[in-house]
Amino acid sequence: MTDDMTEVSLDGLMRLQTAAHDFAVAKAKRIVGAVIEDLRGRPAQGMFGDVAARHMWDEYCWSLQEGPFDDDMGWDDVRLGSLSGAFEGMVRAVIETEIEKLPRHAQVFLSAKAIEVDLDMDEDALGNIWLDGMVALIVEGVNSEASGRNLDLIGPARGDVIGYEIEGSGTVWSALSDRGEAMDLFQSHVDEMIDPDGDLLELAAEMVDAYIAAAREDADGMTVSEFFDNFEDQVRDMLTERDVLPALEDMRAGLLERLDG
């Protein structure tokens, strides 16, 4: 009876190790993205007072950047642990679910990557599946993304912050901005501006009202005044549909890119 053996050169072994490493890095990055998308799909719970969190991902990031929040949650004799601890447990559960979907070889490679970055781990563990290590590796990636976000636009001072973040466009915006009126209007509608599904019609109507009022104020002679008297509704509709709403949508897209980028 003979043993089947495969000889691998040192160069071949190094290429194999590099391939396994690259595979693990790619898988870890994919799982980080899947965890973030999962949290983005969960509604915000309103746990942070005057923070305009749109989903659980916003709340997790706020907790990470502004916490830890270690006060026990609960009522009467029921204790639920700390808020930060609850977030950590939720993220771990999501990560474990993603890891369970992986084939064994992928879990082995991810475990090897986790062992590589943990100086206290014995290298003899290579080839085994190390769940805690994989989870810790993914948590580090999730937290890196969470801590790198600029959350000023959802924070309590978002009304003031929007003035530094927004890039206006359109005829109405330009005119109101020159008059120093545009930002006052935007500050009272910042929550609609950072909500992908927020209704922008009220803000658009206020902008058009202000623009027409300014146009009447600046008008010289009865001709222009009569024009507005006769055609104000048509002018209002045209400005709203062709200038203000498209500009607001573009501005919102820019704000969300800054917030979620």
Query: pLDDT tens digits, residue range 65-111?
Result: 997 776 654 444 544 457 778 889 999 999 999 999 999 989 998 99
At residue 226, the pLDDT reads 76
Q: Which of these three, 149, 169, 204, is where a domain ends?
A: 149
List pLDDT tens digits, range 56-73.
999 999 999 997 776 654
Q: Are residues 59 and 173 in the same domain?
A: no
Q: How far apart are CA 34 and CA 242, in angstroms?
A: 38
Beta strands in 175-245 (DSSP E): none
Q: How far apart are CA 29 and CA 26, in angstroms?
A: 5
Cα torsion through 217, 221, 227, 229, rounded to 10 = 60
4 in any annotated domain = no
Q: Which of these three, 107, 128, 149, is where a domain ends?
A: 149
List pLDDT tens digits, range 214-249.
888 876 665 667 777 788 889 899 999 999 999 999
Structure tokens at 216: 């009447």
Ranges 11-20, 83-92, 109-118: which has the least confidence: 11-20
At residue 218, the pLDDT reads 75
2 in any annotated domain = no
pLDDT-derived band of residue 5, with 50, 70 and 90 as boundaries? very low
Total number of domains constituting the chain? 2
